[in-house]
A and B are shown apart, each in its own frame.
Chain A
Amino acid sequence: MTDSPKFSQSRRQFLAGAAVATGAAAAGKFAHAQAAGPDPAIMEMQPWQQYLGAGVDAAPYGVPSPHEAHVVRRNVEWLTADTVSSVNFTPLHELEGIITPNGLCFERHHSGVAEIDPGQHRLMINGLVDNPLVFTMEDLMRFPRENRTYFLECAANTGMEWRGSQLNGVQFTHGMIHNVVYTGVPLRLLLEEAGVRTSGSWILPEGADASGMTRSIPMEKALDDCMVATHMNGERLRPEQGYPLRLVVPGWEGNMWVKWLRRIEVGDAPWHHREETSKYTDLLADGQARRFTWEMDAKSVITNPSPQAPILHGPGPTVLTGVAWSGRGTIPRVDVTLDGGINWHRARMSGPSFDKSMHRFYFEFDWDGRPLLLQSRAHDSTGYVQPTKDQLREVRGLNSIYHNNGIQTWAINERGEAENVEVG
């Protein structure tokens, strides 16, 4: 792809012209296509119309149609030394609505998937508490529980893009996120059960896997909306998502959502462990580093069209869609541009709008077959507006790895193929 069309004001005039034409079409002047001959899909008997299908005992746990076999998590081999301490990515371009199916939720492990026998699993609360406690899974299921929908985004999502466009697919640039309905016990109830001493101002959740994952979390957050989850999207947590117990830390970076949760220590100071010093600190251009950058900034991305989901149908009615989220609230508004940011349009939000959950947006337009530069820009309920990548670089430099929530651009060419690009 060598063409580099210039997007300018005059071109905008052209697009405006196209919009007028669309208006005419809405008045009912569009002629439908005519078939050259009868469609074999209609004329010929298909096997499924004639012969019996599988019975109810064929798939006790159902799986997607074999025609959807390409809808899978994928990893990028060169990213990590092995696949055990590694990451794979949610295929955002294949999904609709706001909920991520359990089997497609991206994975990031530091020592592989712990396979835990729930009968042998314990949750301990110790440290600055009146009564250090041990809970079995049965104990935990006797506490009142709640159902809440939250996104979980890895702080390194889009981290490969700080220096410019790298990976050609929304799955790889933005796929370290999933959005799930969790069922679990508010952490507040468990801490109340143990009786937090007045000096207890931090907690240290710890995982039972071979990495013994730990993060320091301020008590205020722990008592506010954290939960200890047992179920995701109605069923038990998947092993790769922390079965049988995971900490839910709404709106905060995914690394803190400790999987295979086995212990919570209460203390009076943060622990400064590896995942909050060596990792998950944001190095700025002057060599100084931000620590404890917990909240995920508002972000959005167009999932279709995108490099893995080109426009195959040619000019005419086209559905643009994407997702948006914020660690500080809801997403009341997303703007979309087709010309790289000269003119913006308000996208249509559709689906439930929950606090710190993924939101779905659409923008329908008539594609005229010319190249496009697609972007989306999220506004969250605090008034925060998603910045451009250059705005972020101005503050953070190129080496902060984490928290890249800059506006993503897809270039669409005349054939409808999409590419990850940057514009200026």
Chain B
Amino acid sequence: MSKSVEMMKTLTLSTALVVTAAFAFAQENPAPSREGGFGLGRTALPEEVAAWDIDIRPDGQGLPVGSGDVYTGEELYIDYCSACHGDFGEAVGRWPVLAGGFGTLDDEDPHKTIGSYWPYLSTVWDYVHRAMPYGAAQSLEDDEVYAIVAYLMYLNNMVEDDFELSNENFLEMAMPNEDAFFMDDRATTELTVFAGEPCMENCAESIEITARATVLNVTPETAEDASAAPEAMPVAAEAEVVETAAAEPEAPAGPDPELVAAGEALWRQCASCHQIGEGATNRTGPMLNNTYGAPVGSHEGFRYSPAFAEANAAGMVWDDEALSAYLLDPRGFIPGNRMAFRGLRSEDEAAAMIAYIRAEGGDAQ
């Protein structure tokens, strides 16, 4: 910034200050620029920029060389994505839906998916590569991303099953809903309307209640209790119970507490799909109570893969060896199984994980 510009800026600022000083005197002194910079930081190496600069733009900027076809994409998708997003992008439970919804955007209940809503294909590539699979971000190779994106296009009726997507044909792919987006126009459609001195007295003949939240009854328990019996403070009571439970010392007969603690730290990698302990239920993955020492794939109500059903029929049991091998290399140990998890990194991690599972109620009864 040149000196004169800087001075002008200071001048305008100080006049502005006179006006707003009464309100905002604490925000009056902007940190000064310095001619030629501060000389702080260091130049980023090209390989460092390459390592972090993974973003893709609609004009193709950032797109790596590569390709992948619908068939390859389907296989990868079933392995890495279907556990949450469903075999056809229809989603399991409340995970995001990835396909369908065409022609619903002006409906009462629109379904916004990649096919029905997303304006650019580059966004799909960028996002899948950057953030998916959930819990194993940036684990896919470029060609794998091309293949999965091709499969997502196929699921959304954009291409036939013999399609191959590559950096060469990428920019030819137009999304059906691209033209439905327009720049924020509130300045003309709202700001001018929601203005002016409003009515302050006798503004209506009469007012009636037209909708009530209690009819729906979807507010979490705590809030309802509070409005029903405010003096009772049920929330506080609950919080105290939790605290006392947590403060209770571990039973001494259990497994090595250090190992369990190490396992607990690793559990975060599993928690997006599995529950364990009291109140655990099947989620994206089966609940893991009653697992250690039990037959593979034995949790009632969970829809296991054919690979798991086979292992169960063959009499495979989750002993130390099997669990450890599975957790280290899920896909290698039971080929075709649906756990979208890359595997733990070492025998030590597997031992810790098993100790944690057992300590939390994972032993078969």
- State the A residues within 8 Å of B (CB): 1, 4, 6-9, 12, 66-67, 69-70, 72, 74-78, 80-82, 84-85, 110-112, 124-127, 131-136, 139-140, 142-149, 164-169, 171-172, 185-186, 188-189, 192-193, 195, 204, 206, 210-212, 214, 262-263, 265, 267, 269, 271-274, 277-278, 281, 283, 285-295, 297, 307-308, 310, 312, 330, 335, 339-344, 352-355, 373, 377, 382-387, 391, 395, 398-399, 411, 417-424
Contacts and interface: CB of A to CB of B under 8 A. Distances in A.
B227 A310 contact: yes
A301 B117 CA distance: 33
Contacts of A131: 43
A131 B30 CA distance: 24
A385 to B, nearest CB: 6
7 contacts: A9-B205, A165-B212, A166-B216, A168-B219, A277-B123, A292-B184, A355-B20
A343 B199 CA distance: 8
B205 to A, nearest CB: 6
Contacts of B112: 278, 283
Contacts of B190: 297, 387, 395
B38 A4 contact: no
A343 B202 contact: yes
Interface string B198-218: 111111111111111110101
Interface stretch (B49-57, B306-314, B322-330, B335-343): B49-57
A411 B209 contact: yes
A285 B202 contact: no
A369 to B, nearest CB: 17
A276 to B, nearest CB: 9
B180 A287 contact: yes
Contacts, number: 336
A278 B32 CA distance: 39
A185 B221 CA distance: 42
B127 A355 contact: no
B: interface residue count bin: 35 or more
B256 interface: no
Contacts of A422: 209-211
B24 to A, nearest CB: 5
A324 to B, nearest CB: 14
The 10 closest A-B pairs by CB, nearest first: A144-B31, A340-B207, A287-B106, A420-B213, A287-B105, A8-B206, A70-B235, A169-B223, A164-B211, A165-B213
Nearest to A195: B37
Given A126-B52, A133-B44, A391-B194, 7 more contacts: A76-B218, A80-B94, A81-B95, A127-B53, A195-B37, A263-B52, A269-B57
Given A7-B207, A131-B43, A272-B119, A354 B23 contact: yes
Contacts of A272: 57-58, 119-120, 122-123
Interface string B113-151: 010011110110011001100110110000000000000
B193 to A, nearest CB: 8
